[in-house]
């Protein structure tokens, strides 16, 4: 069973980019730092910083190497892995995150998106992202932390749109939940009906 997580933090240094030795797969890695704010003696102070190594593969690796810089706030979602190696007869372990998606944290700044040219989306990325989202949804449902009445209109969406897969959706754009939102994009990349 894989452990899927979502983390926020800052890029801790320069992104390292390389290609795999055996199959020349692009690989990017960086250290993610998360420093929580905690209340101590009536004041907000920085808590201890947690560091985790993040590794990205293929197109994500190339995009991360071109986009991320030290100190930038990011959101990372992916699978936790344990990297084990031996050196001089001693076994070492390090917890790492195999990223499925990485993006700038827009609650802390702005960014500009440029679509990369690709032949077609890979089935592997679509399968792994779908698997990750399914696992996260199951964890949330199984946690018993339901804070909304699933029968109420607009449950789960800040804008009041429904998350019910049997109907609902965003009445402003006409998108129904379960419908393909990308089907509304014109060939030039402009979202139809927006702007």
pTM score > 0.75 for this model? no
The three-state secondary structure class of 41 is coil
Alpha-carbon gap, residue 140 to 40, rounded angstroms: 30
Nearest CA-CA partner of 72 in 16, 110, 116: 110
* pLDDT bucket at 130, cuts 50 / 70 / 90: low
User: Do 26 and 64 form a contact (C-beta atoms < 8 A)?
Assistant: no
Q: What is the pLDDT of residue 116?
A: 87
* pLDDT bucket at 2, cuts 50 / 70 / 90: confident
Q: pLDDT tens-digit profile of 56-72?
A: 999 999 999 999 999 99
Residue the block writes with tokens 């800040």: 158
pLDDT surpassing 60 at residue 157: no
Of the two residues 164 and 119, the one the predictor is more confident about is 119
Alpha-carbon gap, residue 21 to 35, rounded angstroms: 34
26-30, 92-96, 103-107, 118-122: least confident range:
118-122
Domains of the chain: 3-118 (2.40.50.140)
Name every residue whose Cβ is closer than 8 Å to that of residue 142 and which is 6 or more positions away in sequence.
Answer: none
Alpha-carbon gap, residue 100 to 75, rounded angstroms: 11
């Amino acid at each position: 069973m894989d452990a899927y997580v979502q983390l926020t933090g800052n890029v801790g240094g320069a992104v390292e980019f390389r290609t795999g030795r055996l199959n020349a797969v692009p690989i990017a890695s960086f250290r993610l730092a998360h420093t929580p704010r905690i209340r101590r003696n009536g004041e907000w102070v920085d808590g201890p910083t947690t560091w985790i190594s993040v590794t990205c593969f293929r197109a994500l690796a190339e995009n991360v190497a071109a986009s991320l810089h030290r100190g930038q706030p990011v959101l990372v979602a992916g699978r936790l892995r344990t990297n084990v190696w031996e050196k001089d007869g001693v076994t070492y372990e390090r917890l790492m995150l195999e990223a499925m998606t990485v993006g700038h944290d827009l609650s802390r700044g702005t960014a500009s998106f440029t679509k990369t040219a690709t032949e077609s989306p890979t089935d592997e990325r679509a399968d792994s992202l779908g698997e990750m989202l399914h696992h996260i949804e199951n964890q949330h449902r199984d946690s018993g932390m339901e804070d909304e009445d699933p029968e109420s209109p607009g449950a789960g969406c800040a804008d009041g749109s429904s998350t019910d897969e049997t109907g609902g959706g965003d009445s402003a754009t006409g998108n129904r939940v379960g419908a393909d939102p990308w089907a509304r994009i014109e060939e030039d990349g402009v979202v139809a009906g927006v702007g």
